């Protein structure tokens, strides 16, 4: 059977997303270790720092009976200019899968092109698909949603930078037919080609997608999701971003617009006092840390599906 990669949420169908989520819930409920991946290895390449993605993938692999292998990119010949082409071919002969966090999405695509084992995107400048599976899992959990239709009834608002997180959220909302409002300063709204891509799915899924720079669009939100204003790789824009994003902070004033039972999500790491205030983080830490935990369960489901 041909190998499959998970580089983007768009690599998954609505049916596959639902299957992955129900598997993740099953694994979370059971919490047993399995022996399925005995003798199998997952290579982990991280061009940028990571806590959750790195540790949850490694723990997931061990809990499924396999072994994670950390590839310190600086210690590989990639740091001396060996091509992705050659690296991917060679690594495929040792490993059963690769999880890569990279600066450039096209580099992960290049790895996937030449690798004969599955490649999983652990975050790029364009997408963070594994994060978003855990996020939808968390929404389902906190709203005790039992049917796929249930998820369509909650109003999801993402406020902040139009980045990898909001791109993957837009993708999953378009595929599953969710009600999603993206709020950002005009200059930082999602890229046009990604908005266009989402439009291809809407006629079938009936997703309700709104994109605006008006924070009042957070009215009646059931979920408010935010992320850092300056993602990894964009540090040179930090000063400008801090100024521009200030009105888009998730604080108690913004939450007054939302539904009284609104949950707050953050993929973490968070910068308290910037995109989210200390008090909002403290009040909503249940959902935010459950979201972080769900990375483990969602990724186990992904590994079982893609590394089989
Ligand atoms: N949310 C997330 O991907 O966290 P890390 O950067 O710690 O992996
Ligand atoms: N948007 C953030 C997510 C970190 C998990 C970044 O890319 O830095």
Which residues make beta-bridge pairs with 226?
Answer: 266
The beta-strand segments (E) located in the chain are 41-46, 67-71, 97-101, 119-121, 155-159, 179-183, 208-212, 223-226, 263-266
Q: Which two tokens stand for residue 50?
A: 């990571």
* Band of residue 190 on the pLDDT scale cut at 50, 70, 90: confident
Contact 99, 52 (CB under 8 A): no
Question: Is the CB of 268 within 6 Å of ligand 1?
Answer: yes
- In this structure, which residue's CA is closest to atom 7 in ligand 2? 231
Residue 203 CA to ligand 1 centre (angstroms): 33
Top mutation candidate among 52, 227, 229 for ligand 2, by most atoms within 8 Å of CB = 227
The sign of the torsion formed by the CA atoms of 85, 39, 303, 231 equals negative
Number of the ligand closest to the Cα of 49: 1
Domains of the chain: 9-127+295-306 (3.40.50.1370), 131-292 (3.40.50.1370)
Cα gap 44→63, rounded to integer Å = 16
Q: Which two tokens stand for residue 246?
A: 């200030």
SS3 99: strand
Question: Is the CB of 52 within 6 Å of ligand 1?
Answer: yes
**Sole residue written with tokens 């590994």:** 303
Number of the ligand closest to the Cα of 52: 1
pLDDT digits (tens, 9 = 90+) for 251-291: 999 999 999 999 999 999 999 999 999 999 999 999 999 99
| Residues classed as catalytic | 101, 128, 131, 227, 267, 295
Nearest to 49 by CA among 305, 171, 240, 228: 228
Q: What is the pLDDT of residue 149?
A: 82
Q: Which two tokens stand for residue 24?
A: 């993740």
Residue 57 CA to ligand 1 centre (angstroms): 11
Residue 58 CA to ligand 1 centre (angstroms): 13
Q: pTM for the full model?
A: 0.97
Report the first-to-last Cα separation within the chain, whole angstroms: 10
- In this structure, which residue's CA is closest to atom 2 in ligand 2? 231
Q: What is the pLDDT of residue 207?
A: 98
Question: Is the CB of 299 within 6 Å of ligand 2?
Answer: no
Q: What is the pLDDT of residue 297?
A: 98
* Band of residue 32 on the pLDDT scale cut at 50, 70, 90: confident
Cα gap 69→258, rounded to integer Å = 44
Which residues make beta-bridge pairs with 211?
Answer: 182
Top mutation candidate among 55, 121, 128 for ligand 2, by most atoms within 8 Å of CB = 128
Q: What is the pLDDT of residue 198?
A: 97
């Amino acid at each position: 059977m041909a190998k499959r990669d998970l580089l983007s949420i768009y690599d998954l169908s609505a049916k596959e997303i639902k299957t992955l989520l129900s598997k993740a819930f099953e694994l979370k409920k059971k919490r047993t270790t399995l022996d399925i991946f005995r003798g199998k290895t997952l290579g982990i390449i991280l061009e940028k720092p990571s806590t959750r993605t790195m540790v949850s993938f490694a723990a997931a692999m061990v809990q499924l009976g396999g072994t994670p292998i950390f590839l310190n990119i600086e210690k590989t010949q990639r740091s001396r200019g060996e091509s992705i082409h050659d690296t991917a071919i060679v690594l495929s002969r040792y490993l059963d899968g690769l999880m890569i966090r990279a600066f450039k999405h096209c580099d992960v695509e290049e790895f996937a092109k030449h690798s004969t084992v599955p490649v999983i995107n652990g975050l790029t400048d364009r997408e963070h698909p594994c994060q978003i599976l855990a996020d939808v899992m968390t929404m389902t959990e906190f709203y005790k949603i039992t049917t796929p239709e249930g998820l369509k009834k909650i109003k999801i608002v993402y406020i902040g930078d139009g980045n990898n997180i909001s791109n993957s959220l837009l993708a999953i909302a378009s595929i599953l037919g969710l009600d999603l409002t993206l709020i950002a300063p005009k200059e930082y709204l999602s890229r046009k080609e990604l908005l266009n891509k989402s439009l291809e799915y809407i006629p079938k899924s009936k997703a309700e997608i709104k994109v605006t720079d008006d924070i009042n669009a957070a009215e009646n939100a059931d979920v408010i999701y935010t992320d850092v204003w300056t993602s990894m790789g964009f540090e040179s824009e930090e000063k400008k971003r801090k100024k521009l994003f200030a009105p888009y902070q998730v604080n108690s004033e913004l939450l007054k617009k939302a539904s009284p039972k609104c949950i707050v999500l953050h993929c973490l790491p968070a910068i308290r006092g910037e995109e989210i205030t200390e008090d909002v983080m403290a009040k909503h830490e249940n959902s935010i840390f459950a979201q972080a935990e769900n990375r483990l369960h969602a990724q186990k489901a992904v590994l079982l599906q893609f590394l089989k």
